[in-house]
Amino acid sequence: MEDSQRVTEAVRSRYAELAVVADSGGVSCCGEDKEACFGPVAYAEEELAGLPAAATRASLGCGNPIAVADLHEGETVLDLGSGGGIDVLLSATRVGIGGKAYGLDMTDEMLQLARKNAEDAGVENVEFLKGQIEAIPLPDESVDVILSNCVINLSSDKARVLSEAARVLRPGGRFAVTDVIADDDMDEPTRKDMQQWTGCVAGALTRAEFVGLLEKAGLEKPEIVETHRVHHSAGSAIIRARKPAKA
């Protein structure tokens, strides 16, 4: 099995397990160590108050992209790697009935949980799609905002992810994610540790690498702001960019 396939299957297996844990009442944790045990701590209490408990338990992100996405009524939003659906449900509330929130995930167990959470929350302007973030199943220029919460680091082809994000964004559309950013000196044993990969650390890009791939994808004004440390060689960051508006 090629390395990219091995990574994909390891990620799929790990997050399928975590979906089952969250759905059964347990608290999910994406990593095997305390540093990589991310969760819903970045969300305000009032944001979580109206959500099903399973959506909160399945929150495995390293930040809160909703807080920096500046969503507006009527917009169409896409969450890459939507998991239990927390950011999709919060986005749907902000864009209103005239807007739409999509969630994209490759894990059947997470999709099942997310759809159940949407039903329990009574949110109708959402749709959860099965697929990989390297091949987004939506047309060109069909969304206003791309969100993601600690998922891009899990991909084995991040250039393709960002290229796909740029493709589906409308001109002037916004890229607003939280993700793990690696220090330039992250050691090779950490990079090769599959538990650290599925725990959102080993596959992280450095700041320069992320900026380079955003610009190569055609996104402008990249901004990366670290918010807190999540590992001795990595930190969580807010990452924003924009697709140029057409003349």
Residue 29 DSSP symbol: -
Q: Judge whether residue 58 has pLDDT over 50.
A: yes
State pLDDT tens for residues 138-183: 999 999 999 999 899 989 899 999 999 999 999 999 999 999 999 9
Q: Residue 210 — very low, low, confident or very high, per pLDDT cuts 50/70/90?
A: very high
What rounded mean pLDDT belongs to the chain?
A: 85
Distance, CA of 235 to chain centre = 16
Q: Judge whether residue 131 has pLDDT over 70.
A: yes
Question: Across residues 226-240, what is the average pLDDT?
Answer: 91
| Alpha-carbon distances, residue 170 vs 143, 144, 165 (angstroms) | 6, 6, 10
- Secondary structure (3-state) at 47: helix
N- to C-terminal Cα separation, the chain? 46
In this prediction, residue 196 carries a pLDDT of 67
Residue 245 DSSP symbol: P
In this prediction, residue 158 carries a pLDDT of 96
State pLDDT tens for residues 94-115: 999 999 999 999 999 989 999 9
Q: Residue 1 — very low, low, confident or very high, per pLDDT cuts 50/70/90?
A: very low
More confident residue, 71 or 50: 71
Distance of alpha carbon 162 from alpha carbon 189, whole angstroms: 26
Q: Which amino acid is at 22?
A: A
pTM of the model: 0.87
Domains, the chain, in order of start with CATH, read 3-242 (3.40.50.150)
Task: Enter the tokens of residue 65.
Answer: 């992209």
In this prediction, residue 8 carries a pLDDT of 75
| Alpha-carbon distances, residue 117 vs 50, 110, 112 (angstroms) | 11, 10, 9
